[in-house]
Structure formats: C-alpha cells, structure tokens
Structure 1
Amino acid sequence: MKKLFAALAFIATVSPALAASQTVTLSVPGMTCAACPITVKKALSKVEGVTKADVNFDEREAIVTFDDTKASVEALTKASENAGYPASLKK
C-alpha cells in the first residue's frame, strides 16, 4: 500500500511537468479595423488551455501561449476562423 501511495504521489508531481507551454504566432490577414483584434482575442482566449493571447492589428497577427496538452494550433486557427477571421501559423 505504501508503494502504491508513493507511486501515485510521484505521478501527481511529475504530470504537471510533462505539460508544455507553447507560444505560436498566427497570421490573421482579415483584420481590417481597430475593433477586429478584440473579436480575435476573445475567440482565442475561449480555447481551453490558452493562457495568453496578444493580437496586433498593425502586424495582422496574434501571439498565443497555450498548454499543448489542452489546445493545439488547429484549435486556435479554428476558433479564429469561427469568429470570422481565418488564421494560419506564421512562419
């Protein structure tokens, strides 16, 4: 029983360390007015796992930080597209 408890305690402490925070830059060329970034930011922020979303109108891009065990680039681009602003990973 002690070994089981020790193993569970170990897993509980190591599991959060396996989750990686990832930051990506998305190109969002469809933003045409100063209000557009607000909509894009709201859409990206609603994706589970997103911890930060900064949207820049002048650069037509969004910089998003997220937990890659809960979100993906595909989920981010879909959220932006569903809000009316198709996005793609900026290279």
Structure 2
Amino acid sequence: MKTVIVVGVAVLSLLPFNMSFAAEQKVTLEVSGMTCASCPYIVKNTLASVDGVKNVNVSFKKKQAVVTFDDQETQTTTLTKATASAGFPSKVME
C-alpha cells in the first residue's frame, strides 16, 4: 500500500499544473471632468473602493489617476466604468 501511495504522489508531482498567479498591475488613467480640488478626492475614493485595487494616486494638475491593482480581482474596464459612474469618464493612457 505504501508503494502505491508513493508512486501516486510521484506521478502527481510530475503533472504540469496550470496555476495562474495574480499579478499586480499598474495603469494610468486619463480622467476628464475634474474641475475643482475635491474632484481628485472623489476619483481616488471611487477607485479605491473597487475590489482588487491596492493603491491610487490622483493628480488634479495632470488629470490622471495611477492605479495599482490585482489583475485576478479586477480589470481596467472595471476601473474606467467606476470613474464614469462617479461622473468622471476615464480612459487608459498608452
């Protein structure tokens, strides 16, 4: 019985496992519609509330938001939809 278990474990260890690991991504969004000093606060809080978002920095001067997120929990389309629903349309900068 021990031989069967050992052989089974050995065979399983040789099988390729397709395990995808979450990767931290960083994206810069061009955010339009920010017209006052409180706008970046709203954009930052909106993006920070999206599942998977790790960090958000918003620049009123540049009209940009730099977002670090877990790509297994959210996508850039989710981020742009979130800002648009808060009244600040955005798009990914290339």
TM-score normalised by length of structure 1: 0.82
Q: Which of 61, 67, 70 is residue 64 of structure 1 equivalent to?
A: 67
Greater helix fraction, Structure 1 or Structure 2: 1
C-alpha distance in structure 1 between counterparts of 2:81 and 2:32, whole Å: 15
RMSD: 2.0
Count matched residues. 83
The 4+ residue runs of structure 1 with deviation greater than 4 A are none
Structure ID, larger Rg:
2
1:90, distance to aligned residue in structure 2 (A): 1.0
SS at match of 2:65: strand
Tell me whether 1:53 sits opposite 2:56 in the alignment: yes
Which residue of 31, 34, 56 maps to 2:34?
A: 31
Q: Which structure 2 segments of 5+ residues have no match?
A: none
Gaps of 5+ in 1: none
Query: TM-score, normalising length from structure 2?
Result: 0.79
